[in-house]
Copies of this chain bind each other. A is one copy, B any other.
């Protein structure tokens, strides 16, 4: 079912510092910050040859990553995102297998404009997994 690793998301407490570290110390190609108010985050994409890293910084009072940064003040790897061909089919297969899909299994529109769901970390070895519908995947 799962296809490509779409991205690894890293929550950061200092966006400018994180961008500088990836650009200068790691020599990566770092994009410009984009505010996504409907998602409560500012994102920066780091393009690698085979996938991308997303730096996430809280935006607004109800950012979904605020709690994570409270627990991990230095930041940390927040989630990994796998591509699926069909979110609907993926959710059906997950529910059949007994895994918990957050938000009642109803997809939302993610940061790239595609439908996404998140899976319960307790069912996946403590790691938060996002599934993103990428029809050509």
Contacts and interface: CB of A to CB of B under 8 A. Distances in A.
Interface residues of A, number: 45
A80 to B, nearest CB: 6
A114 interface: no
Interface string A101-137: 0000000000000000000011111110100000000
B77 A25 contact: no
B121 A74 contact: yes
Interface string A2-38: 1111001011111001100100111110000000000
Report the 9 A-B pairs with minimum CB-CB distance, sorted nearest first: A1-B27, A74-B126, A75-B125, A76-B126, A25-B97, A75-B126, A12-B125, A77-B77, A25-B99
